[in-house]
Structures are given as C-alpha cells and as structure tokens.
C-alpha cells in the first residue's frame, strides 16, 4: 500500500508540474497575441490617419 501511495503522489506532482507548464505556455501565448493585436491596432490607426490625409 505504501509503495502505491508514493507512486500516486509522484504522479500527482508530475501532473501538477505538467499543468503548470501548460498554463505558463498558454499565458505566454496570450501575452504575445495581445501585444501583436495592440501593435496591429496602433499601426492600422496610423494607416487610417495617413489614408485620410490627416495628421493625428
């Protein structure tokens, strides 16, 4: 029984670590996507101003 418990515990910690890694990766992706969207938004606004022939 004791051996089974330790194995289960090890598996649990492994799963937790995996989950944390996945979570961090997802967070990083979200941050990157958000910055890209902001960059594109700023650029498109500049482009619209240029297109309209107006200076912001």
| Domain chopping of the chain, boundaries | 1-51
18: left (phi over 0), alpha (psi -120 to 50) or beta: alpha
DSSP string for 1-56: -HHHHHHHHHHHHHHHHHHHHHHHHHHHHHHHHHHHHHHHHHHHHHHHHHHHT---
What does the pLDDT read at residue 25?
Answer: 93
CA dihedral sign of residues 33, 37, 40, 46: negative
pLDDT, mean of residues 9-27 = 88
pLDDT winner (highest mean) among 1-5, 13-17, 33-37: 33-37
Mean pLDDT across the chain = 84
pLDDT, mean of residues 10-31 = 89
What does the pLDDT read at residue 6?
Answer: 85
Quick one: tokens of 31?
Answer: 């941050």
Task: Assign 41 a pLDDT band (cuts: 50, 70, 90).
Answer: confident
Residue in the structure block whose two tokens are 């619209």 = 48
């Amino acid at each position: 029984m004791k051996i089974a418990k330790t194995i289960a515990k090890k598996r649990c910690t492994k799963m937790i670590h995996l989950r944390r890694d996945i979570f961090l990766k997802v967070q990083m992706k979200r941050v990157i996507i958000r910055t890209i969207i902001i960059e594109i938004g700023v650029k498109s606004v500049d482009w619209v101003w240029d297109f309209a022939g107006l200076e912001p």
